[in-house]
Amino acid sequence: MLQLLGEYECRLDAKGRMRLPSGLLSQLGMEGEGEKRPFVLNRGFDNCLMLYPEDVWEEISREVNALNQYDQKNREFVRYFYRGAQRVSLDGADRILVNKRLLDYAGIDKDVILSAVNNRIEVWAQDKYDSLLDEEPSDFSGLAQQVLGDNNPGKVV
C-alpha cells in the first residue's frame, strides 16, 4: 500500500506547469529515467487540488461509481467529484500541466505547497496552506481522542 509523506514547496511556471519534487518522485518509484506513471488531478476539499496516482484514482472511482445513482445526494456528489478531473502525465522535466480552471478553484497563482497525505497529494496555494496551519487545533490530543477515540484500543497514536 502506498504511503506518501512530506511537504514540498513548488512554483508554477508561466505556462501553469509544476515540477514534482524528487522526494515525491522517489516515494512513487518514479525517480530517474524509468516509466512515468500517470496521475489524475482534481478539485479537493477545502479549496485545494488533489493529485492521485492513477491506481489510487481508479480505486476511489470504483467506490464512487458504486453509489446508488437513484439517490439525489449521491448523484450530486458524483457530479461534483468528477467535475474538473483530468489525467496528467509528467513531461521530460518531471512537470505536470495544471489547467486554469483548477488553478482558479484553488486560488493558486505561483507558489504551491504539495502535502503528501496517505496515498495522494494535496496541492495548495501557499498562502492558503499557511493559513490552514495557523488554524491548527490548540488541543491536537483532544482532537485525536474525538476522531480515533476507542476505535482501536491498544493502538498507539
pLDDT in tens, 123-143: 999 999 998 887 776 777 777
CA distances from 7 to 10, 21, 81, 112, 152 (A): 10, 10, 24, 10, 28
Is there a domain that residue 47 lies in? yes
- pLDDT, residue 33, reads 58
Is there a domain that residue 53 lies in? yes
Cell digits of residue 85: 478531473
Is there a domain that residue 146 lies in? no
Distance of CA 157 to the CA centre of its chain: 23
Structural contact between residues 78 and 66, judged by C-beta atoms closer than 8 angstroms: no
pLDDT exceeds cutoff 90 at 108: yes
Is there a domain that residue 143 lies in? no
**What distance in Å separates the CA atoms of residue 138 and residue 123, rounded to the nearest whole number?**
24
Could you tell me where the DSSP H helices lie in 28-139? 54-65, 72-82, 100-106, 126-134
Total number of domains in the chain: 1
The domain that holds 46 is classified in CATH as 3.40.1550.20
Helix, strand, or coil (residue 94): coil
Domain span at residue 64 reads 7-127
DSSP 21: P
The amino acid at residue 18 is M
**What distance in Å separates the CA atoms of residue 17 and residue 129, rounded to the nearest whole number?**
19
DSSP 70: T
- pLDDT, residue 147, reads 81
Is there a domain that residue 139 lies in? no
Distance of CA 30 to the CA centre of its chain: 17
Is there a domain that residue 79 lies in? yes
pLDDT exceeds cutoff 70 at 49: yes
Is there a domain that residue 65 lies in? yes
Is there a domain that residue 85 lies in? yes
Strand intervals (E) in 33-107? 39-43, 49-53, 86-88, 95-97
Angle between helices 54-65 and 72-82 (to 10 degrees): 160
| Mean pLDDT, rounded, for 11-28 | 94
